[in-house]
């Protein structure tokens, strides 16, 4: 089974002053991330404000990432994962087929939000998407945003039915959920933490790493934590868990990706502007982010 990296950054999408996607800045940011702890890139997800990107913009952005750091890039090639999940199964399938042609390494599909499907509805939704393409599929379970949670037994049914469903981004924050996933699913099924502060606990339950927000700014430490745990240095891994915890929690004090994009810009990296309904951090919020960065030694 292909490994997509232990630290995968769920990358922000830089927008220019006029609101257009800044593809050049996106490519530059991706290359920076790869140089600082990220072993893979996820594009067009929640952190990337994917919900407000048009299909045309997403396809161009995914292609840009593949050419910048992925299969078509010169030099080091890293896995690129494209988000294809929507609440509309037919639309997700149609888009996934287009994304597959770009040369991405895998796709991410979220539990349908707003509609709150049953477990059978989730099974049929993901089965239809996975059966329509040949790419590996990573499920995304984030009940805090979708108001629905795919259960371990349903994931097991899906893996049995669709061999190309290879992993999950688990943002449930639920120890029982993760434990059951590892008990029921094949050993090589990849469980990624979908919550930066939950990375260490998920590693202890047999997870493979993190699909991360904070790796935009502390990627080297996040990778060092995962690497230390893999090598059996649990003490070092836990020390890094404690070190990174203030950032891993702090970047979510208001709606993500506002704090992380603000932090990226404050550090002189190409974060770019927001697209409504995301807005710039207020002065007090910005001051709080600056203090976090100073406390961590980043400023």
Residues 6+ apart with CB under 8 A from 243: 221
> Considering 23, 62, 140, 192, which one is annotated as catalytic?
140
Cβ burial, residue 159 (10 Å; 0-12/13-18/19+): buried
* 294 carries an active-site annotation: no
Is-contact 53 21, C-beta < 8 A? yes
The answer to whether residue 140 is catalytic is yes
Active-site choice (58, 62, 169, 229)? 169
Quick check: helix, strand or coil at residue 82?
A: strand
Q: Kindly report the CA angle at 29 between 282 and 225, in degrees rounded to 5?
A: 90
81 in the Ramachandran plot: left (φ > 0), alpha (ψ -120 to 50) or beta? beta
Give the separation between CA 252 and CA 255, rounded to whole angstroms: 6
Cite the DSSP H helix spans in 80-163: 89-100, 119-132, 143-146, 152-161
Residues catalogued as catalytic? 140, 169
């Amino acid at each position: 089974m292909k490994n997509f990296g232990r630290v995968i950054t769920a990358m922000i999408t830089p927008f220019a002053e006029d609101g257009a996607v800044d593809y050049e800045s996106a490519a530059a940011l991706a290359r920076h991330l790869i140089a600082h702890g990220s072993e893979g890139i996820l594009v067009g997800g929640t952190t990337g404000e994917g919900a407000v990107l048009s299909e045309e913009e997403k396809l161009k952005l995914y292609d840009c990432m593949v050419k910048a750091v992925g299969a078509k890039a010169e030099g080091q090639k890293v896995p690129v994962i494209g988000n294809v999940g929507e609440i509309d199964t037919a639309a997700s399938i149609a888009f996934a087929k287009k994304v597959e042609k770009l040369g991405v390494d895998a796709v991410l599909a979220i539990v349908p939000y707003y509609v709150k499907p049953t477990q059978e509805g989730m099974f049929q939704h993901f089965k239809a998407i996975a059966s329509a393409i040949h790419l590996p599929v990573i499920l995304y379970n984030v009940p805090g945003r979708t108001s629905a949670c795919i259960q371990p037994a349903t994931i097991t049914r899906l893996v049995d039915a669709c061999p190309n469903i290879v992993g999950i981004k688990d943002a449930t924050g639920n120890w029982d959920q993760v434990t059951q996933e590892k008990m029921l699913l094949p050993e090589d099924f990849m469980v990624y933490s979908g919550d930066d502060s939950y990375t260490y606990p998920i590693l202890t339950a047999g997870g493979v790493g993190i699909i991360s927000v904070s790796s935009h700014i502390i990627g080297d430490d996040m990778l060092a934590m995962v690497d230390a745990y893999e090598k059996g240095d649990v003490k070092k891994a836990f020390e890094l868990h404690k070190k990174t915890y203030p950032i891993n929690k702090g970047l979510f004090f208001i709606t993500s990706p506002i704090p992380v994009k603000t932090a990226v810009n404050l550090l002189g990296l190409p974060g770019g502007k927001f697209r409504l309904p995301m807005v710039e951090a207020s002065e007090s919020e910005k001051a709080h982010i600056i203090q976090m960065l100073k406390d961590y030694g980043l400023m």
